Structure 1
Amino acid sequence: MIIGTAGHIDHGKTALVGALTGVDTDRLKEEKARGITIDLGFAYLPTPAGTLGFIDVPGHERLVHTMLAGASGIDFALLVVAADDGVMPQTREHFALLDLLGIRQGLVVLTKADLADEGRRAEVEGQIEALLAGTALEGAAVVPVSVVTGEGIEDLRSRLIAAAQGFSARASEGGFRLAVDRSFTLSGAGTVVTGTVLSGRVRVGDTLKVSPSGLSARVRSIHAQNRKAEEARAGDRCALNLAGEGVTHDAITRGDMVLDPALHAPSERIDASLRVLPGEPKPLGAWFPVRLHHASVEVGARLVPLAGDGVAPGGEGPVQLVLERPIAAASGDRYVIRDTSSQRTVGGGRFLDLRAPARKRRTPERLAQLDALMETDPAASVARLLAIDPWHVDLSAFARDHALGEGAAGRLAAELGLVTFSTPGARIGLSPARWELIRAAILAELTRFHDANPDLPGMGAERLRLALAPRLARPVFTEAVKRLAGEGRLALEGAWVRLAGHEVRLTRQDELLWEMIEPRLGGVERFRPPRVRDLAGLTGVAEPEIRRLMKLLGRMGRVDEVAQDHFFRRATVAQMVAMVRQLAEAAPDRQFAAARFRDRIEQDDHSVGRKVAIQILEFFDRHGVTLRRGDLRRINPHRLDLFGAIGEDAVNSGARSSQAETVSPDEGASRQVL
């Protein structure tokens, strides 16, 4: 259990920790010379309930930022009030900070009890009772002590041990995070960082990230609760001896977070809940400047109210915090804001969403999402998010931003019985009921399209997505159509989507004419097929009739009009797309000249010539398969499957392996469904 002091300057916090542990936490020369605490101090007390860690914080009003760097990691508060002075300004502010940080366990220590008679003690206890009224520490015990006479010290120590015995340690299943409050070089060891482990666990040999910088580091050794250890876990005061390229005490500073590499995703725009202290002179309006304190970091920020024109003194509401620079954090973490002059505490709350949008941040849909994110239970939060727009959740991102640890996405999917999709860099989850609605909407829209356009081979994928209501995000839509293809409900052909049973049929007369024409578009002359007028001469059929049929075949996806009246078979176009792709991949700068394409195509047909080669490349330019700059072209990878040149087999195979899967809680949380 980590115990932290709080209270006004010169009320005896450091002396109290010394009396309890035998350790003087004032380690700096300036602290000893001036007799006041300037930086965080640390001490440990071995007990039958385990080693108790103490964080001693400065009480001066100008050092509240330092107090916050230590207070963010404590489990149990010792609010220190001197019997002779009573409740003072920093007593009130420190206590407000404890309340804003969500610290719910603690007691009050009435120090310098030898300087007050019974009447004075009763008077100060009355002040304390009024201060604690209506807070989580209301009714907390008040223990009179004197480090001079020894009064109350043993009683206080016994109370702390009893509290530790009944203390529920922080869960260590999440991803590892340590908030750095000190970084220094230790002779013979190298770089050492200290801090409180906020979540998860770490072992010797683990590779970590320093966030937000992204510096990689390896754990050489660990001290947890002032003892050499192989492992440290959530709630421990911890020292990590780190090694790695660029790892120095100057490269890691107070405010950094050392964490599991999977959690490294700094944020500079955060949606949060906010409670404003009653003492504020006016509501906090748009772009109100503040100093934000989270864990051990302090950063400038602007505050944007998301409901109404502002958050009133004593009121609460959702806000967006736009930071001056990125920080490492987790959804659900507590924070405090102070004014820009650092003279007063303004309020605080909980982070809700680390990926807050810059636009449409005040819409009813967005506010509903934030309301769902207020849930402290991750499964309950995901369940509520799935019931509102956009009807799906990226489970991987949710688990990362909530620091839930490895395998959490799969456990959430199993617990809630979700249908899941795997996309590059994401694991999308949605409810079975929502998946059925999406499936039905896609099939119904394709049915309507085929009824209205029986002579077309399919519907453009993006057109289909935009026609759905509600409109699906592209990753979800892409995976949905792949899955339906895997189920045999629809077919994917390049950029076209069609129902599996849909087939465009030619009339018997057109079939006979196509049987005459098709052989003339293939063979050795497939890269320079005859034009419409040439086909008319070869078949004896009028040009308009040939042109009509070729246009129809173009809509069916059998041929492509590369130039005016110059039609190529789709298979030939796909082969040419593969050629330009190979040329680009072979080029050092991924760009190729028209002459290179002409030379490549002439390997198959020496009579193609520059003119036809240029027409083919211009056709690819128009369709976005190639991107031209001057005399050079490069490939657009997002359009390579437009003519079925690549990806068609991969898409259908991926669809077959991406079968819709609903996970029931009975199947076990350990099952990997994503």
Structure 2
Amino acid sequence: MLKRIILGTAGHIDHGKTSFIKALTGIDCDRLKEEKERGITIELGYAHLSLPSGVKVGIVDVPGHEKFVSKMVAGASGIDVVALIIAADEGIKPQTKEHLYICELLKIKYGIVVITKIDLVDDELLELQKEDIRDFLRGTFLENAPIVEVSSVTGVGIEKFKQVLDEISKEISIRSIDTPFRMPVDDVITIKGFGTVVRGTAISGKIRSGDEIVFLPDNIKGRIRGIQSHGVFVQEGYAGERLAINVPDFKKEDVRRGMVIVKDGFFHLTKYLLVDFFYLPYNDKPLKPRIVAQFHAMTMKTTAELYFLGVEKVLPGNKVFAMVKLEKAYAFSYRDPYVIRGFGIYTTMGGGVVLHPYLKEINRNKITVDYISRLNSGNLEEICSLIIKEQEADGLSINDVMGFLNISYDTSQKILIDLLKQNLLVEDKRTKRFFHKNVYDRLSQTLLDNLEKYHKNNPLKSGINKEELLVKAGGHENLFNLVIKDLSDKKIITVDGDIVKKYDFVPGGENSVFKPMEELLKKWGLQTEEPLKIAEMLNMEEKKVRDMLSTLVKNGSVIKIKDSYYLHKDIFESFKEKIITFFKTKEILTPQDVRDMFNISRKYMIPLLEYLDSIKITIRVPEGRRLRRQ
């Protein structure tokens, strides 16, 4: 597969970033009238380049002015290699430092230092600037980075920069296209004849023209009409590419920078995160255990509260763990980088990576430093187990795992299979969701405890309604249904329609309460009395008698012929067999035949015959009744 990388600029205002990109590509990234007039980059600019080896380079030009650092952070997201631009006539300036720190916080690994405007200084000053730059970069990810001297006016050094970038590109790994697709939106435009076009850097996965996509956090869906990469229409877009995606379903005002394009079913919105946090050493004051600041990730920014764990204060240069509460929900993956800035200028405070991308709430009593350290371990199996456990009875699907950990289907499947083998998870094969074994066991015990309690309080009832038990067990339907099925398969409980009981439960204990009633019904044969009469004879309340009769019906001990007319099952079975035997010699059964056979009045005979019809034993015809063909 053809390698694609993203190059981004960084550096102080007016150090020649945009001019350098124009000299490199022939593309002018200053596209706003205001930018032309003021001579500074306000918005992000875009260009592209092909290197001698064939590597395709997407280029993001970021603003250098202190007021637009938030846009610089948005542009730097997804960058593979940064060109740190330092003007030869000015040297290291405030945004040079801030941009470098931001690149470190965003985990950019590769870079080239570009000294611009060399046509404005003599050799002696140029050498002094190089020495200062080396001192400044010591201890950073650019400590050993190549330095290229260029003039955007004369073109000196431009070809050398391409050669150096080509060499570095060999070290950059191709981004996985098997992980879930994500593209943070950094620009939205309208093109006549096409409609809305969104642009950004694809940071994972792949997308195809015609695919349905989702814009988060607004959760609006649309279909892709076309994709451009490096100014050319393509059928597919891949991680590591600058993409322009045509989405005519939307107006320009429907989408905005800060949204992220994904495929449905992989990512969840959250306001709560666990992170590690590095407090930049140039800060001069310690931080309190709780701060409010600007949170930047990918192309979004929002206000956030940070709660630092295990410390009374955070000193400059220290790294700690923190819980984050965002003002606006967003979708994250494990190890997504972020930046924290204050509300003034020159105020990039620090940043780090997301360690838990889907906390349900901030609970400082439950979240410990040890717990976050385990998330920080990088052991994906352990992390997966921890996050699934935290989801309690909601569980996770394999797509959820792919999105949370930013890994492929095959990797997710392997992790889940290994955890199942270790008996740490259980799988609901019907819903394809995975639950932690501890959560499964806890719900199983809760369900059995509730059944035991119900049987104790309702000894005459055959069992509890399934919906009522679901509510008592916490209302988590997916895991509840799995537990019910497993306990039933193991003959620990019995499920009869909507009624659930413990497998060995018998209403009324050893039938002691029901025995007199069953004996009375047997004694009466086919001509039983109504419940009120039964209550009088057994010295009980009518309601209790009706409840007991309902229980015996559900147990199959008693047959309900119609309202207030009940027969013992042995009596009814005898009656039914005699009727079936009658049809061996006769084709038609009349009421008179029944009266002669059983010596019962019309009061009982008619309901009995209608009940035989209802259970498909007989069928009514003008002459009487026939035996229904089985």
Could you say which TM-score interval applies, normalised by the shorter chain? 0.7 to 0.9
Does the aligned pair in 1 maintain the 2:331–2:357 contact within 8 Å? no
Q: Which amino acid aligns with 2:193?
A: G
Q: How far apart, in 2, do the equivalents of 1:203 and 1:509 lie?
A: 71
Does the alignment pair 1:105 with 2:110? yes
Q: How far apart, in 1, do the equivalents of 2:407 and 2:528 lie?
A: 61
Does the aligned pair in 2 maintain the 1:45–1:52 contact within 8 Å? yes
In structure 2, list runs of 5 or more residues that go unmatched.
566-630
Q: How far apart, in 2, do the equivalents of 1:523 and 1:285 lie?
A: 85
Does the aligned pair in 2 maintain the 1:8–1:80 contact within 8 Å? yes
**Other-structure match for 2:602:** none
TM-aligned CA deviation for residue 263 of structure 1: 3.3
**Other-structure match for 1:250:** 253
Partner SS, residue 203 of structure 2: strand
1:179-578 counterparts in 2 under 5 A? 179-244=184-249, 247-263=250-266, 265-285=268-288, 287-364=290-367, 367-376=369-378, 378-383=380-385, 394-396=396-398, 397-404=400-407, 410-418=413-421, 419-422=425-428, 427-430=433-436, 476=479, 479-492=482-495, 496-498=500-502, 500=503, 512-517=515-520, 530-531=531-532, 534-535=533-534, 537-538=536-537, 541=538, 543=539, 563=543, 566-570=546-550
Partner SS, residue 531 of structure 2: coil
Does the aligned pair in 1 maintain the 2:535–2:545 contact within 8 Å? no
Q: How far apart, in 2, do the equivalents of 1:229 and 1:143 lie?
A: 34
**Other-structure match for 2:141:** 136
Partner SS, residue 58 of structure 2: strand
Farther-moved stretch of structure 1 (403-412 vs 481-490): 403-412
Q: Which amino acid aligns with 1:102?
A: K
**Other-structure match for 2:34:** 30
Partner SS, residue 144 of structure 2: coil
Does the aligned pair in 1 maintain the 2:179–2:406 contact within 8 Å? yes
The alpha-carbon distance between structure 1 residues 122 and 496, as it changes in their structure 2 partners (threshold 3 A), is same
Q: For residues 373-419 of structure 1, give each alpha carbon's deviation from its aligned partner in whole angstroms, at most 9, with x where no partner exists.
A: 32445334224667999799634443333444667654432244454
Q: Which amino acid aligns with 1:76?
A: V
TM-aligned CA deviation for residue 173 of structure 1: 0.9
Does the aligned pair in 1 maintain the 2:333–2:406 contact within 8 Å? yes
Does the aligned pair in 2 maintain the 1:289–1:340 contact within 8 Å? no
Does the alignment pair 1:11 with 2:10? no
Does the aligned pair in 1 maintain the 2:394–2:478 contact within 8 Å? no
Match of 1:167 among 165, 169, 172: 172
TM-aligned CA deviation for residue 304 of structure 1: 2.3
Q: Which amino acid aligns with 2:434?
A: I
**Other-structure match for 1:72:** 77
Partner SS, residue 247 of structure 2: strand
**Other-structure match for 2:130:** 125
The alpha-carbon distance between structure 1 residues 524 and 146, as it changes in their structure 2 partners (threshold 3 A), is farther
TM-aligned CA deviation for residue 514 of structure 1: 3.6
Does the aligned pair in 1 maintain the 2:268–2:358 contact within 8 Å? no
TM-aligned CA deviation for residue 61 of structure 1: 0.7
Does the aligned pair in 2 maintain the 1:385–1:392 contact within 8 Å? no
TM-aligned CA deviation for residue 55 of structure 1: 0.8
Q: For residues 298-319 of structure 1, give each alpha carbon's deviation from its aligned partner in whole angstroms, at most 9, with x where no partner exists.
A: 2122222233344332222222
Farther-moved stretch of structure 1 (400-409 vs 5-14): 400-409
Farther-moved stretch of structure 1 (194-203 vs 343-352): 343-352
Does the alignment pair 1:46 with 2:50? yes
Q: How far apart, in 1, do the equivalents of 2:162 and 2:9 lie?
A: 14
Match of 1:89 among 78, 86, 94: 94
The alpha-carbon distance between structure 1 residues 507 and 168, as it changes in their structure 2 partners (threshold 3 A), is closer
Q: Which amino acid aligns with 1:251?
A: D
Does the aligned pair in 1 maintain the 2:212–2:221 contact within 8 Å? yes
The alpha-carbon distance between structure 1 residues 408 and 453, as it changes in their structure 2 partners (threshold 3 A), is farther
Q: For residues 453-506 of structure 1, give each alpha carbon's deviation from its aligned partner in whole angstroms, at most 9, with x where no partner exists.
A: 9989789999999999xx9988646533431322334434657552x4565786
Q: Which amino acid aligns with 2:338?
A: Y
Partner SS, residue 17 of structure 1: helix
Q: How far apart, in 1, do the equivalents of 2:259 and 2:29 lie?
A: 23
1:621-640 counterparts in 2 under 5 A? none
TM-aligned CA deviation for residue 236 of structure 1: 0.6
Q: How far apart, in 1, do the equivalents of 2:390 and 2:269 lie?
A: 27
Q: Which amino acid aligns with 2:361?
A: A
Does the aligned pair in 2 maintain the 1:332–1:376 contact within 8 Å? no
Q: How far apart, in 1, do the equivalents of 2:345 and 2:12 lie?
A: 16
The alpha-carbon distance between structure 1 residues 163 and 574, as it changes in their structure 2 partners (threshold 3 A), is farther
Farther-moved stretch of structure 1 (400-409 vs 325-334): 400-409
The alpha-carbon distance between structure 1 residues 321 and 150, as it changes in their structure 2 partners (threshold 3 A), is same
Q: How far apart, in 2, do the equivalents of 1:12 and 1:130 lie?
A: 22
Partner SS, residue 262 of structure 1: coil
Does the aligned pair in 1 maintain the 2:514–2:548 contact within 8 Å? no
The alpha-carbon distance between structure 1 residues 462 and 7, as it changes in their structure 2 partners (threshold 3 A), is same
TM-aligned CA deviation for residue 438 of structure 1: 6.7
Q: For residues 270-318 of structure 1, give each alpha carbon's deviation from its aligned partner in whole angstroms, at most 9, with x where no partner exists.
A: 2322111123343333552211111111212222223334433222222
TM-aligned CA deviation for residue 510 of structure 1: 5.7
TM-score between the two structures when normalised by the length of structure 1: 0.71
Does the aligned pair in 2 maintain the 1:175–1:403 contact within 8 Å? yes
Aligned residue pairs total 550
TM-aligned CA deviation for residue 330 of structure 1: 2.7
Q: How far apart, in 2, do the equivalents of 1:253 and 1:84 lie?
A: 38
Q: For residues 395-454 of structure 1, give each alpha carbon's deviation from its aligned partner in whole angstroms, at most 9, with x where no partner exists.
A: 4443333444667654432244454333997712446xx699779978998999999999
Partner SS, residue 189 of structure 2: strand
**Other-structure match for 2:608:** none
1:590-629 counterparts in 2 under 5 A? 605=563
Q: Which has the larger radius of gyration?
A: 2
Q: How far apart, in 2, do the equivalents of 1:398 and 1:521 lie?
A: 65
Q: How far apart, in 1, do the equivalents of 2:369 and 2:429 lie?
A: 27
Does the aligned pair in 2 maintain the 1:413–1:420 contact within 8 Å? no
In structure 1, list runs of 5 or more residues that go unmatched.
548-560, 576-600, 608-674
Q: Which amino acid aligns with 2:547?
A: F
TM-score between the two structures when normalised by the length of structure 2: 0.75
Farther-moved stretch of structure 1 (75-84 vs 399-408): 399-408
